Amino acid sequence: MKRVLVLIFAVNALFAYMVKTPSDVYSYAMLLKQKVKYLREKAGINKPFPNVPPQTNKYPRHVIQKALEILSKINLYRVRHGYGSIFIPPYPAREITPSDVYEMVKRDDAEITVFIKDIKFLKSLKLKKYKGKTPNDVYRLLWSISLAMDDLLGIRGYTPTQVYGLASKLLKIVEFLRQTQNIYVLPPMPPKLPNRHPNHALYKSYEFLDKVRKAEINLWINNPTDVPKTPHKVITPTEVYDSIQYNIAELQRIKYRLGVERYFKSEIPKETKTPSDVVQILSYASEIMPLFDFKKTLIQYPPSSLAKTPNNVYAVTQVILKKLNILKNLKGIQAVPKNPPYIPGLKPIYAYQKAIEATEKAIRLKTQMGFYPSQVPEAPLRKITPNEVYEMVIRLDGIITILLNSMGYKTEEYIYMTDKKIPRGKTPSDVYFNLWKISNTIDVLLASEYTPNETFLLSKKMKNKILVLLKHMHIKKSAIQHTLQRSETYINKTPKDVFLLTEKLFSLIKKTQKRFNIEISNIVIPQEKIITPNTVYNALRITNASINELLIKKNVNEEEIPKIYEIPKNKTPDDVYKNVEDMIELLKLLFNEADYEN
């Protein structure tokens, strides 16, 4: 019985270790706060960091909206400094968890980090673990960070015009919800009342939320939203904006309950708007909001139909390939991308890794085309779902769309298209094949090779991962140090030498996976007649994905992997070769019983 209890405790502890909590999100958001604080100081902003009153009735679905708001302000910061825009992902079409919020805050943090060149400051930051935090606490912290961004943008919160743009998006969602129930006739817009203030707009926003609450009750949604009491104070447009964001999060919940999905852009009108305009549109939204009462048959679909499959992901990759072909033609490039092999029997994690590879290259292309660098995603060390593959590929589509638009070719992101063609019978292998074609096409567009510095950085990250793995496997520190202090020197190594050694490393990782009882994939490192720096980098990329599988098996937390902020300089293939050789020798320790701690 005791053994059973111990096993149950161990499984629960492992599950808790992998699933993020509001406290985990809060801890990471505090890192983000310190970085925003640093940027404010460098910009000569001496005002105290904004304070937000305690929050109530906030759930992860509301918190992720605030994290998305911060990302949109980071995007605005980039645009105002001439850095070029980044893609803002849509609100996920599913129940939002703290883990979803965690990933979004990580993205916020990484996008802010690219603006900080003070390596000493970045290295000084430590992740402090907080406990007992709730979504209310996280929301409050993120809102204060969002307000702090306003000073960096040179604005004092949101304007009535921006609030109107968000309210217009809310209205589009309400009209869409009516259409899902086959209600197409709309009453006339109420007249605009003069001399309205943000206080009136907030009241109307709460009035609308009351309608949403009634709809949620009629739809038998668990924990229908609460409606706050209107505060007795002077209200700012920013508070109205925040309230509308809350309302949109609740509408997303209703869409998910009905099993429908459609996204709408938030477009800021060119003409200046006033609180009277905002009041008018919120009043109208409240008037036409469907209540889904019992007088009419409810039209609904299985929410499970919103879960993304390889069919959905494949459809996006097809669109991306078309967009890349247009980009290639606009640039007048006639070179033909390499045709990759088809690998059957792959899992979603491999498609995800290939999507990250393509996204990294797309960001590199974006930088080459004059944009400021942006965050390069890292694969989370856990199992990957088709939903996550879809969201990463959607981000890739967003980047390519930005590049096309920057060249004067107007097109829209896949998520806003209404003529989507979803195939059937596709597998992660089909998705992987298309993503490999995308990666090879971007190689042609880049028309440049990875430098030894870039390849060294990737190999250094891989070596750090193996060192963390050995720690989890209780390999003696003395054995690790002895391995790293080998006196071999490498001179005049070529990309081909590094490639051949990487193949040996890949084979050893496969052997290690077999010992771990990890299902071995059919992935191979493709052979090429001429070995280039790109060939080496792509081979290391594939090998890195296999290392991640080992870390996932040992439940390594990605926060354990040391971050590298300094860009290597003056590296050669010799240095890369040594890193790969180190990885091989380090992995060999796993197969020597004498190298384990007692």
| Per-10-residue mean pLDDT, the chain, length 598 | 42 53 96 97 94 92 93 91 90 87 94 94 93 97 94 85 96 98 96 95 97 98 91 91 92 96 91 97 98 96 95 98 98 94 90 94 95 88 88 96 96 95 96 96 94 95 97 96 87 94 97 92 86 93 93 91 90 96 97 91
Quote the CA–CA distance of 430 and 436 in Å, as a whole number: 10
Q: Any residues with CB less than 8 A from the CB of 324 and at least 6 apart, and which?
A: 400, 438, 441, 442, 445
- Provide DSSP, 189-246: PPPPPTT--HHHHHHHHHHHHHHHHHHHHHTT-SSPPP-PPPPSSPPPHHHHHHHHHH
Enter the DSSP assignment of 408.
T
Query: Cβ distance 158 to 69 under 8 Å?
Result: no
Query: Cβ distance 509 to 469 under 8 Å?
Result: no
Main-chain phi, psi angles of 265, to 5 degrees: -80, 150
Quote the CA–CA distance of 195 and 275 in Å, as a whole number: 8
Environment class of 488 (CB within 10 Å of its CB; exposed 0-12, middle 13-18, buried 19+): exposed
Quote the CA–CA distance of 541 and 318 in Å, as a whole number: 23
Quote the CA–CA distance of 206 and 278 in Å, as a whole number: 13
Give 596's strand partners. Answer: 475
**Pick from 544, 535, 547, 546: nearest CA to 573:** 535
**Pick from 297, 289, 299, 293: nearest CA to 187:** 289
Say what the pLDDT of residue 526 is: 86
Tally Cβ neighbours within 10 Å of residue 117.
Answer: 9
